[in-house]
Chains A and B, each alone.
Chain A
């Protein structure tokens, strides 16, 4: 292939600069993981001596962390279920049918991604406050689903587009009903996409801060809200360990998506990562209308 050759100096400069930028992205994460094992939580870096005590302290008596962790897990699990149901039906409607006002529906579905989260959180607060539902895990999960379902829809749309529709038609032509086609053909083929959509819905909810902050009450506090409160108001060195756990959860989730992708034969099933395919704004005006 004909290539424009770059000068050595230019290449070295670019390499050094991009390494620095990659460090800029990775360093905050690395520093947390390393510090969480250091004896002196706010001391020098790298730490002089090592310990696991920040992790054991998390589960000591009187610690607030286990409650926050289990609430976050519960909310994330509910969000996953909600957004998979909404995502699968919406993706089916958008990919596999003739939908009137299709672009309006598509715009509505993706709109929560570009609308400022403060606005969504404030609106949900105004909705749930009069209903006395503040602090209810269901309310928080319903709120998180607004953010998680667009991601699920995008992943599942890509999945459905990757499934040969003729397989479904063939099954239908041999007398299989809609439900049978779905259960025996579409569902197994869409499984990797559904796993990916589920995982991303889960971590979207698990890491979500702003909606939780508005919808939580004094005794129901999700993990990110608890982390934020500690960072802002009081110093609790075990927050480093919690942060490291949050990092581990995200990394494991991404690795799982990677494994599912590998198992399902990469290439055939594109778009399991919501970010990897061509990226673009879903036609601006649709969200405004």
Chain B
């Protein structure tokens, strides 16, 4: 469960107005000074901790990626990363991340919309099936897929028994295996993110659209999808970002052609002692992640602007 809990915040960060209701102004001054000091005191441990064990290490990774063998500034680790086999691995990473996040998004959409229509009891049970795997080690779940997808695994046996044309299939150590395994790891994220949005939708809006004569497809396209859109964007971009740096499943279920950046970094550090190159790859991953987050932010504000214009007119 190496990625568990990621990006699942209790509430969207309330950027402003952190303090409780405005206090009376005079006494407020002195009181707020004390509250500020108390806050700083309590915030110090975590901030110091993360500065030393999170920010500083990333910063030193950045420095290392810019340093040549002679210690002088260089960009050649980056140009190396975008050449030959390394470039191919970068592109593979982007391709597998795109395939996986689209699949997880599609499947997650189906499941979340089905669950959001169930009665509370059944919805609760279905959510347990979604949440429990999320907290079970991704390594273990990947191993489960290796057992399932082997040449004599359950999946191939069932397909052979059904006389499915072409069975048994090669499902391991190729892209099919990697995408199946990684999608299974990302699916709980997309389902949880989409379910949260879908539960908040007022289903009377759909009924209202129907009463005005809209057909099913129109309702889905013009009412439901726009309402769910923020969740779709969130879930899609997030699972893409999480895939980018993912290691376990591609390393265990993929072949040569499914090597992802994380595996390359691992190999460069552990086997080739090539820390500078690995650092450059890490920074590239980091920048791609930032780009994804920035995209998310832009889409969010674009969506809000669009909605505001809609209500104004």
Contact = CB atoms under 8 A, between A and B. Distances in A.
B58 A115 contact: yes
B304 to A, nearest CB: 13
A274 B15 contact: no
Interface string A117-156: 1111011111100000000000000110110011101110
B5 A126 contact: no
A225 to B, nearest CB: 9
Nearest to B52: A127
B58 A97 contact: no
A180 B153 CA distance: 60
Nearest to B50: A108
B259 to A, nearest CB: 13
A107 B13 CA distance: 9
B158 to A, nearest CB: 10
B97 to A, nearest CB: 11
B10 A274 contact: yes
A155 B193 CA distance: 17
A278 B139 contact: no
Contacts of B150: 42
B57 A126 contact: yes
B157 A44 contact: yes
Contacts of B36: 97-100
B31 to A, nearest CB: 9
B286 A157 contact: no
Given A118-B261, A122-B265, A246 B279 contact: no
A278 B50 contact: no
B92 interface: no
B114 to A, nearest CB: 4
Given A98-B39, A287-B293, A45 B53 contact: no
B146 interface: yes
B42 interface: yes
B184 A25 contact: yes
Contacts of A52: none
B32 to A, nearest CB: 5
Interface stretch (B78-86, B200-208, B305-313): B200-208
Contacts of B7: 110, 113-114, 279, 281-282
Contact of B139 (A120, A157, A209): A209
A26 B131 CA distance: 10
A118 B285 CA distance: 9
Contact of B135 (A123, A165, A203): A203
B6 A283 contact: no
A28 B18 contact: no
Interface string A261-289: 00000000001011111111111111110
B121 interface: no
Contacts, number: 369
Contacts of B184: 24-25, 28
A276 B192 CA distance: 8
Nearest to A97: B39
Nearest to B110: A17
A158 interface: yes
B174 interface: no
B20 A119 contact: no
A224 B139 contact: yes
B147 A210 contact: no
B25 to A, nearest CB: 15
A77 to B, nearest CB: 17
A220 to B, nearest CB: 15
Given A89-B46, A210-B247, A282 B9 contact: yes
B229 interface: no
A119 B279 CA distance: 8
B27 interface: no
A239 B146 CA distance: 13
> Which 5 A-B pairs rank lowest in CB-CB distance, beginning with the nearest?
A116-B245, A28-B144, A123-B57, A97-B39, A93-B42
Interface of A: 1-4, 14-15, 17-18, 21-22, 24-32, 35, 42-45, 85-87, 89-90, 92-94, 96-100, 102-103, 105-120, 122-127, 142-143, 145-146, 149-151, 153-155, 157-158, 165, 200, 203-204, 207-210, 213-214, 224, 227-228, 231-232, 239-240, 243, 246-247, 250-251, 253-254, 271, 273-288
Interface of B: 1-13, 15-16, 18-20, 32, 35-36, 38-47, 49-50, 53-58, 60-61, 64, 107, 110-111, 113-115, 126, 129-148, 150, 152-154, 157, 184, 187-188, 192-193, 196, 203-204, 206-207, 210, 219, 234, 238, 241, 244-245, 247-248, 251-252, 261-262, 265-266, 269, 275, 278-279, 282-283, 285-286, 289-290, 293-294, 296-297, 300
6 contacts: A22-B129, A123-B61, A124-B53, A228-B252, A250-B137, A282-B12
Given A25-B129, A122-B282, A246-B137, 7 more contacts: A90-B45, A108-B54, A117-B2, A123-B56, A165-B20, A231-B146, A275-B5
